[in-house]
Structure 1
Amino acid sequence: MRGLTNFSQSSLLFKSIHITIRSPSLASARQQPRRSYSFTSLRMAPTRDPNTLSNYGAWLTKHTTVNFKVNFDKQRLEGSVSLDLESLTDKESNEIILDTTCLDISSVKLSNVDLKWELKETVAPYGSPLHVTIPEGAQKGDRVKLDIALATTKDCTGLQWMTPAQTGNKKHPFVYSQCQAILARSILPCQDTPDVKSTFTFNITSSLPVVASGVPVPSDNSGEGERLFRFEQKVPIPSYLFAIASGDLATAPIGKRSVVAAGPEAIKAAQWELEDDMDKFLDVAQNLIFDYQWGEYNVLVLPPSFAYGGMENPIFTFATPTIISGDRQNVDVIAHELSHSWSGNLVTSCSWEHFWLNEGWTTYLERRIGAAIHGGPQFDFSAIIGWKALEDTVKLFGEDHEFTKLIISHKGVDPEDAFSTIPYEKGFHFLWYLERLVGREHFDKFIPHYFKTWAQKSLDSFEFKATFLDYFNQHGTDEIKQKVAQIPWEDRFYKPGLPPKPDFDTSYVDSCMALAEKWKSSDYKPDLKDVESFTSNQTLVFLQAVQDFSPCLSVERAQLLGSTYNISSSKNVELKTAYYGIALRAGDREAFPGICELLGSVGRMKFVRPLYRQLVKLDRALAVETFEKNKDFYPSTTKGQLAKDLGLR
């Protein structure tokens, strides 16, 4: 998601040289083939990940086993974690350093022998590193297995505990994890960096059903009371993809290899929303890249407080209930999260500074899936919506802000503070630019090459550049080679603000913009027929255009828009939020009750942060009162960001 020393000033620069790289990542040193790349103006980062305190350059986690009991009464996980680590250094290594924050650790053992360990002083915002002494040291290639007994605490930021009253059917408690970006360390000691990948075993005891980011293993978990739920993740994953959830869950099939899990009261609606598109999404993605590698692809629809549209946890995507809108118009979120099965999960950015490699690629793949299913213009239509979000983000940060660069400096920064649409949309536009440069036919051959080259590994932007240049210098025509040689990598990586705006195919947008033009006249008399032929996303584009009016609509006109088009009563949160943006710009205080109700029923940051920012300008007291009333409903990520937005910390 998201400042370090400015690479444009402090990195080493190599010009037109030929070098051989072994091991694109310290974390995968023993997995890499020897490959030769040609570099032009290659900038090499002096460090891989500034957001971890672990010594992952000396030790590599090979496998992680978690043995947790879900204690709903005390709202904590209790048990142990076993870490199988390999020494990477040529000289003797006698200390392992792991990331932790706010954990209650009771012992660290090696072969049932207690080890000397110490939690060092907290380094904000990265937690307290756990230093473990290996008494006899280890040579390169040696393996050790640490057994760490622990419990999470009330300050755990990676878990969201919900009382029965906060869930859909209000009968049972619920807990779910959210580890991106650096919150896994609040659940278990680990090398909390995307530059390290480990296989996982999950042994979770709970009185309620459990899902996790692994394939379920048959076990006797029938009956009442506490039961053991087991999962195996045999594809190495980074710590931020560690995921568990437990609550009153039902499941229903939505595809050949897919189920949806949700509260019993929501399962039928969730099944209907997703079953029509799931296999279509999967088929298109496999044809575009290569076969799905994870076995199952399932979706967990979470309670309303969830901070994101979706979280791409392997096997089980965690999804916001706002996608269940009753019109199948918001399921592109699932196309996005499915695309992460290749981009982000299989091929991973080595640090949050290069997060665009995860999200830019995923946004690109999501739009290719949408175009394959809904027609070519859908690609540009989605890109136009994304461009509006990109413009808004750049305006919010400021066009010269560090966080509007493709590669962002992260030293001493909480990655969450830099999170925005930048890596998604600016990353997408860089990839789309490369596609147009070489032609889609040639770019489509590069896509599987890239993902096969880096499967189960982590990389940075410079290694992506090297892979791209190597491929097209070997396989491109003379014309393509000439074009590739002129790519302005420096500008694309480090120039803040908006990238060059492409010429969009506006086929799906023209009618939306034409309606918006009519609304610029105060004499225009609207009719429901205006939007009857629109998809929800076309209505969204229309609303976004009206949001940008200068001067803005009057209170009366804003109210007329909402009532005529039935938007103020819509169940589609995307549309309601866009309409409330218009109402707030108009200063419509009659909309305040509806806005406050939405802010108390949805935790998705995409919606609540913009609404709070606008509400605080009109009525700070109401905005703060609404936040204080609902802060325990929001997960820690949302709560922290909203507190900053409101100037409360």
Structure 2
Amino acid sequence: MNNFKTITGCLAALLALSLPLSVSATPALPSATPTASESQASAPASTSISANDRLTFANYHEVSVSHIDMDLSLDFEQQRIEGQVELSLDWHSDSRHLLLDSRGLDIHSVQALNSDGQWHQAQFSLGAHHGVMGEPVEIRLNARETKVRINYRSAEVASGLQWLSAAQTQGKSQPFMFSQNQAIHARSWLPLQDTPAVRSTFSARISAPEGITVVMGAERTEAVDGVTVFNMPQAIPSYLIALAAGDLHYAAFDERSGVWAEPAMLAKAKAEFEQTPEMITIASKRYGDYRWGRYDLLILPPSFPFGGMENPRLSFITPTVIAGDKSLVSLIAHELAHSWSGNLVTNASWDDLWLNEGFTSYVENRIMEDLYGRERALMEQSIAVGELKEEAAGLDSADTRLEIDLGQRDPDDAFNSIPYTKGQQFLVFLERAFGREPFDTFLKGYFSSHAFVSIDRQEFRRYLNSELLNRFPGRVTNAEIETWLQGEGTGPLLANPADKAFDKLDKEAALWRSGKLKASDIDTVGWTVHHWLHLLNNLPRDLSHPQLAELDTHFGLSQQGNSEIAFSWFKLALACGYYEVKPELGAYLEHIGRRRLVVPLYEALAASSEKAWARDIFAKAKPGYHPVTVASIEKLLR
């Protein structure tokens, strides 16, 4: 893990910043007009129960933002966002200053609304740059005023935005842009309290050039004269604010769900993810009503750095999961599951990421079991556990805990298999100890009692003790709980979930390795993507080149259309020094920008004799990669 120096001093010291104050005035832009809610009760904004987020400059314990009103224009030529945000404030102290987060923002002016309903100029200053957190914005107010307006524009290179030329899209007709705010990238295009501890509703008016369709994770009103209006009546943390624009078209699954995509991808996406309404029904039956109105998907260009992003009402999805056979739709189940864990009940700081991702991975697997059966669910658990064990071996031991201490390191470093799979397996352990019915009751109560609240580890432990451990005494010890939450490594309680699902495959693979069986004799009839991943992930990393050539020749692995199988194959080939795959690997790296599928391959190349070749491929692929992906790969190839 990379370590970052902590910022000097404390937030209180920002009050004494001696930077020049800007008091220039800019005429206020009109406020956004909210659309009518789809009969959804607005959820009040809420700060966390008792969180202390060290990755924000915001003084949210003194004053918190309850609503964000945006009036923004998308400039595709300059690749930036420009306009105004209006922040509604809830005061919790006698303080008269407001601290916000920013990263590279050019702030022109700040106004505040006084008790007489008049807007006036407010003094503000930008603090020193911090390598991870960006720059604090300090606004000095005359009183505990209820609203501030900030006129600004984003930098040309903003970590939370990607701008693509028309040539970099599927249709080649219109440019494309999308946001990716998690974990702390919202501050790169919005001045706000960029912490999951604070939840806000929002409204927006977004102006875009002709031919560009704008979507957000919010209620949407069709564009008039290039302006699209949005309203989000449920309070969400800043990392869940989502914006995208391009040549987008819509296809409905049913009356409350559907998919947005470029025209070339729309029919494929609709067919691949047609079971989304059924997933919503399954999850709602188990864990309580779906509380977000619509649930739509947005298929992004291949440069999207993640598998999916759970933005409420509009999950962002990578096209790499469109395999043509629904073999990778567990990702849709995962992003949908976030509608309960993560979006409804949120980790109040990134130290407790497992409260988002562990619960979501568990719920995802239960949805997949209901939809496709127990065997597939267990195989998916098994693949994830194998990846967890491999990844955990390369992490600092302290970062293999569920309850970690990030300090002020980049929170993107926390997104690995520990919070996802170790967190999931902890909940599987609890389910087995207490029984499915009591555990389902516990989960449903957890989501309901903490709805629209950001919680910390203390609150989770309190609820676990109160509603599960104390109700069923003697089934789990405190020592076992501590082993899972504070223990390092993958833990002694972690077993292979799919004990016998791959037995026949493993026996045949062993015979092939020993030369007693040809690759053509391995029985792959009825294999799913999980069988292929199990085979490739578990083959030893000392296979001979003739063995690898035999696998590739017979199974066509280098030409594999399934992105997950191709990734596992290329990872195996590189680990064995089988560089005959370079032509196909180069095409793969140039086409796919999903971090999980490219960064480990660059890492293997950087440690090999092919580092110079990797630099050449990266130079070609870089224009289509997201800034987060670029930063990760540049570290490896320096």
TM over 0.5: yes
Q: Is the 8 A contact 2:350 2:414 kept in 1?
A: no
Q: Alignment partner of 1:366: what SS?
A: helix
Q: Indicate the residue corresponding to 2:123 in structure 1.
A: 116
Q: Does 1:344 align with 2:362?
A: no
Q: Alignment partner of 1:176: what SS?
A: strand
Q: Is the 8 A contact 1:380 1:504 kept in 2?
A: yes
- 1:561-580 aligned at under 5 Å gives the runs 561-580=551-570
Rounded Cα–Cα distance in structure 1 between residues aligned with 2:604 and 2:513: 22
Q: Does 1:198 align with 2:200?
A: yes
**Partner of residue 306 from structure 2, selected from 293, 308, 321:** 308
Describe the superposition over 1:516-541 as per-residue Cα deviations: whole angstroms up to 9, x where unpaired: 22332234212287223101122111
Q: Indicate the residue corresponding to 2:262 in structure 1.
A: 263
Letter in 2 for 1:623: A
Q: Indicate the residue corresponding to 1:331 in structure 2.
A: 329
Describe the superposition over 1:491-516 as per-residue Cα deviations: whole angstroms up to 9, x where unpaired: 32222211222353434322332332
**Partner of residue 217 from structure 2, selected from 213, 217, 221:** 213
- 1:91-102 aligned at under 5 Å gives the runs 92-102=94-104
Q: Is the 8 A contact 1:64 1:82 kept in 2?
A: yes
Q: Is the 8 A contact 2:253 2:259 kept in 1?
A: yes
Letter in 1 for 2:592: V
Q: Does 1:627 align with 2:618?
A: yes
Letter in 2 for 1:631: K
Q: Is the 8 A contact 1:191 1:239 kept in 2?
A: yes
Runs of 5+ unmatched residues, structure 1 = 6-25, 33-44
Q: Does 1:458 align with 2:476?
A: no
Q: Is the 8 A contact 2:45 2:236 kept in 1?
A: no
Describe the superposition over 1:317-344 as per-residue Cα deviations: whole angstroms up to 9, x where unpaired: 0010001111111111000000001110
- 1:555-566 aligned at under 5 Å gives the runs 555-566=545-556
Per the TM alignment, residue 220 of structure 1 is displaced from its structure 2 partner at its CA by 4.7
TM, length-normalised to structure 2? 0.89
Q: How many residues align?
A: 592
Q: Is the 8 A contact 2:45 2:201 kept in 1?
A: no
Rounded Cα–Cα distance in structure 2 between residues aligned with 1:528 and 1:605: 35
Q: Is the 8 A contact 1:307 1:635 kept in 2?
A: yes
Letter in 1 for 2:449: T
Q: Alignment partner of 1:444: what SS?
A: helix
TM, length-normalised to structure 1? 0.88
Letter in 2 for 1:241: L
Q: Is the 8 A contact 2:348 2:455 kept in 1?
A: yes
4+ runs of 1 displaced by more than 4 Å?
1-5
Q: Is the 8 A contact 2:536 2:568 kept in 1?
A: yes
Q: Alignment partner of 1:198: what SS?
A: strand
**Partner of residue 178 from structure 1, selected from 180, 183, 190:** 180
Describe the superposition over 1:463-513 as per-residue Cα deviations: whole angstroms up to 9, x where unpaired: 111101111366x3xxx2122454533332222211222353434322332
Q: Is the 8 A contact 2:508 2:517 kept in 1?
A: no
Q: Is the 8 A contact 2:366 2:377 kept in 1?
A: yes
Rounded Cα–Cα distance in structure 2 between residues aligned with 1:325 and 1:159: 27
Describe the superposition over 1:264-303 as per-residue Cα deviations: whole angstroms up to 9, x where unpaired: 111111111111x212211111111011000110110100
Q: Indicate the residue corresponding to 2:251 in structure 1.
A: 252
Q: Does 1:234 align with 2:233?
A: yes
Aligned-residue identity in percent:
35
Q: Indicate the residue corresponding to 1:18 in structure 2.
A: none
- 1:353-368 aligned at under 5 Å gives the runs 353-368=351-366
Q: Does 1:639 align with 2:630?
A: yes
Q: Does 1:501 align with 2:497?
A: no
Q: Alignment partner of 1:367: what SS?
A: helix
Q: Is the 8 A contact 2:403 2:485 kept in 1?
A: yes
Per the TM alignment, residue 435 of structure 1 is displaced from its structure 2 partner at its CA by 1.2
**Partner of residue 599 from structure 1, selected from 567, 577, 589:** 589
Q: Indicate the residue corresponding to 1:588 in structure 2.
A: 578
Q: Does 1:319 align with 2:339?
A: no
Runs of 5+ unmatched residues, structure 2 = 6-43, 114-118
User: Does 501-510 or 439-448 show the bigger shift?
Assistant: 501-510
Q: Is the 8 A contact 2:321 2:328 kept in 1?
A: yes
Q: Does 1:127 align with 2:134?
A: yes
Q: Is the 8 A contact 1:544 1:578 kept in 2?
A: yes
Rounded Cα–Cα distance in structure 2 between residues aligned with 1:106 and 1:187: 14
Letter in 1 for 2:242: A
Q: Indicate the residue corresponding to 1:37 in structure 2.
A: none
Rounded Cα–Cα distance in structure 2 between residues aligned with 1:507 and 1:567: 25
Q: Does 1:439 align with 2:441?
A: no
Letter in 2 for 1:397: L
Rounded Cα–Cα distance in structure 2 between residues aligned with 1:318 and 1:528: 41
Q: Indicate the residue corresponding to 1:468 in structure 2.
A: 464
Per the TM alignment, residue 212 of structure 1 is displaced from its structure 2 partner at its CA by 0.4
Q: Alignment partner of 1:121: what SS?
A: coil
Q: Does 1:169 align with 2:162?
A: no
Q: Alignment partner of 1:369: what SS?
A: helix
For residues 210 and 366 of structure 1, do their structure 2 counterparts lie closer, same or farther at Cα, with a shift above 3 Å needed?
same
For residues 594 and 473 of structure 1, do their structure 2 counterparts lie closer, same or farther at Cα, with a shift above 3 Å needed?
closer
User: Does 105-114 or 362-371 show the bigger shift?
Assistant: 105-114
Q: Does 1:274 align with 2:267?
A: no
Q: Alignment partner of 1:386: what SS?
A: helix
Q: Is the 8 A contact 2:259 2:269 kept in 1?
A: yes
Letter in 1 for 2:581: A
Q: Does 1:426 align with 2:422?
A: yes
Q: Is the 8 A contact 2:58 2:99 kept in 1?
A: yes
Q: Is the 8 A contact 1:469 1:484 kept in 2?
A: no
Q: Does 1:158 align with 2:160?
A: yes
Q: Indicate the residue corresponding to 1:73 in structure 2.
A: 77
Per the TM alignment, residue 88 of structure 1 is displaced from its structure 2 partner at its CA by 0.6
Describe the superposition over 1:213-270 as per-residue Cα deviations: whole angstroms up to 9, x where unpaired: 10113x453xxxx511111111100000011000011111224411111111111111
Q: Is the 8 A contact 2:46 2:200 kept in 1?
A: no
Rounded Cα–Cα distance in structure 2 between residues aligned with 1:514 and 1:202: 58
Q: Is the 8 A contact 1:202 1:212 kept in 2?
A: no
Q: Is the 8 A contact 1:161 1:175 kept in 2?
A: yes
Q: Is the 8 A contact 2:219 2:232 kept in 1?
A: yes
Q: Alignment partner of 2:519: what SS?
A: coil
User: Does 624-633 or 77-86 show the bigger shift?
Assistant: 624-633
Q: Is the 8 A contact 2:101 2:187 kept in 1?
A: yes
**Partner of residue 444 from structure 2, selected from 437, 448, 451:** 448
Letter in 1 for 2:177: V
